[in-house]
Amino acid sequence: MVMVAPSILSADFSRLGDEVKAIEKGGADMVHIDVMDGHFVPNLTFGAPIVKWIRPVTDLPFDCHLMVAKPAKFLADFKKAGADYVTVHVESEGWRDAIETIRDMGMKPGVSLNPDTPLVSVMDVLDKVDLLLIMTVNPGFAGQGFMSEVVSKVRKASILKSGEGYRYILSVDGGIKPSNVGEVIDAGADMVVAGSAVYGSDDIRGAIRALKSAR
**How far is Cα 110 from Cα 182, in angstroms, rounded to an integer?**
23
Residues whose CB falls within 8 Å of the CB of residue 83, separated by 6 or more in sequence, listed in order: 33, 48, 51, 62, 63, 64, 107
**Residue 189 φ then ψ, to 5°:** -65, 140
The residues, any chain, with a CB within 8 Å of residue 187's CB and separated by 6 or more, are: 151, 152, 154, 155, 158
Question: Which pLDDT does position 45 carry in this prediction?
Answer: 87
pLDDT recorded at residue 39: 78
Q: Residue 151: in which H helix or E strand, if any? A: helix 151-164
Distance CA 192, CA 178 (A): 11
The per-residue pLDDT for 46 is 87
The pLDDT, as a whole number, for residue 42 is 75
d(Cα 173, Cα 139) in Å, to the nearest integer? 9
Query: What's residue 202's pLDDT?
Result: 95
pLDDT tens for the chain, 215 residues: list them: 999 999 999 999 999 999 999 999 999 999 999 998 877 887 778 899 999 999 999 999 999 999 999 999 999 999 999 999 999 999 999 999 999 999 999 999 999 999 999 999 999 999 999 999 999 998 866 666 899 999 999 999 999 999 999 999 999 999 999 999 999 999 999 999 999 999 999 999 999 999 998 86
Which residues are identified as catalytic? 34, 173
- Which residue ranges form the domains of the chain, and what is each CATH number? 3-213 (3.20.20.70)
Q: What is the pTM of this model?
A: 0.95
The single-letter DSSP state of residue 105 is T
